[in-house]
Structure 1
Amino acid sequence: MRLSAYILGFALAASVQVLAEEVTLGVYHKLSDHESFEKRGEIRFDTEEWVQYQEQQAEQRLLQQQQANTKRQYKKNKNVDLKPAPQIVYSNIELDAKQAQSLVEDFVLNVHAPYRASDHNEEPTEAYEDETEEEFATRVEEWKMQEEEAAEKDAERTPGTVGFYQIKLKDEIRGWEAMSSIKSCLLVASDFQERFTLHLDQNRNVFAFDYYTSVDQCADAHSQELPLSTLDKFKNTQVELLEGSQGPKARYNKAQAIKLDETTGQPAVEKTFFQKYWMYILPAVIMFLFAGGEPEKPAA
């Protein structure tokens, strides 16, 4: 009974350890004129596997540098078996009919402005069949008031400015989240080939990410309004992990203790060379002065 309990406890501990190393990041997106993010997909990976893989890659590079002197050693390096890179899985969420319809209506990519031209209603030009002249005049006045309010808002987002596609990553367990954005037209220009670079801290937790596409410039052909009708466009998403490394530490010279004068209590003035070594210099000078040379020879 106790043995089975120990085995069960060990299995639970092992499973907790495995789950603790598996990371799931929610991927949320919105346009620059939207107020809130909507979930688009998830990124899943095993941190421990990736750290071990990167350590193996670093060791292999070091080994190749050390053993690149002879052909025999080079052949030995070629025979080293490397583990395949661990997989990072990105998947889109399943949209129901209502979410899919909302996606088509709301997600319109536009590089020229963060709002659509269709947001403005046309001016009423004639009355309806069952509408009186007074009712028609009232409707025209209401249209003018709506246009004035829209003009005030549009002044803050002038046409010609760039519309942005914004991304947020969120770790539901840790509560960590971060945001990034790119020009909407870059998604169109790259055919939705987006890239994520996740940065890990010393505790192997994601603390930042980079978001970009396979191209960095937009052409005029990519400046048209493009409704995002399906999430299947995000099928070429690539994710990379980078582990932070500790940089070199600065060297500091230790401060020397300041000697104080015993009589004044002030910092002592540093002595000159002669003041330090006069007791050795003076005897040498005296010996040199009094040392006699060779006695003079008597004249012949």
Structure 2
Amino acid sequence: MTKWMIQTKALTKAIQGHVILDHVAIHLPAGKIYGLLGPNGAGKTTLMKLLLGLQKPTSGAMYFMGERLSEKSTAIYTRSGSMIEEAAFYGNLTATENLEILAEMRGVTKYRAIKNVLENVRLDTAGKKKFREFSMGMKQRLGIAAALLHEPELLILDEPINGLDPMGIKEIREMLLFLNKKYGTTILISSHILSEIEQMVDVIGFLNNGYLVEEVSLQELQDRNRDFIRVKVSDVKRACFLLEDELGISDYEVSEDDFLRIYSKQTDTGIITSCFVKAGLMVYEISNQSFQLEDYFSRLIGGDKHAFNN
């Protein structure tokens, strides 16, 4: 039986009649990385704020390790760390000095905790460099370090890779995977950059206009959306016959627009093209197609995939 770190049931948030979240039910397995994905304005930040008690839901229920959360609940607050808004630190202080102030405020044993988190987020070599001199990626990593000071079981991060360059994104991705694998930290991470999140998450929940459109494991999604060879020919029926009779390929389908989708991994485009041309068919188009998360969710909601990367 799956152990849920977080569950919500019919979670709804409305402000002055405007519904921001509408009966959302997410299931975050303990020890996994959950990607909360969707365009800007989908409701991702609001959902995280509700879980952390920063806002109150209009209706519905939230559960942490099976315990229903209420205004008096403290479990999720003492056992989780978060970075929701942009991290705010003293510009004239170093990473260590900033964390020392936070550790004192939270009653954390300073030296060991600070040393550990700086190593984990790869800021242990920052030395005497002041926060105001940090790159955007370093600032984000220090924000995550602050969330990790009390060794939480759950880490909630809102758009931690937003605004980072490719190297900064890679650093954050590798760091989160490290925390998850080494310490078993459960992570809830939101983003509108689907292609990057795809490389780290175990489970995906896709929000759009306040609705949870789909919740699915990445493995299941990839199994359902395999890579394929896409072919446009002059005679689809004849091409199907050739695939089976000449090439021994039965794992294919014809799409609604009369393109062939060939899923066989043992045949390349050159062999297929040669077979069709020798049989007198015209090959108008042939290409390898890989599964792309943006394309999948674009089809799912009937939208423009580019909306997720703006």
Q: Settle same-fold status: TM greater than 0.5.
A: no
What TM-score, normalized by structure 1, do the two folds share?
0.20
- Give the strand-richer structure, 1 or 2: 2
What TM-score, normalized by structure 2, do the two folds share?
0.19
Q: Which has the higher contact order (CA 8 A, sep 6+)?
A: 2
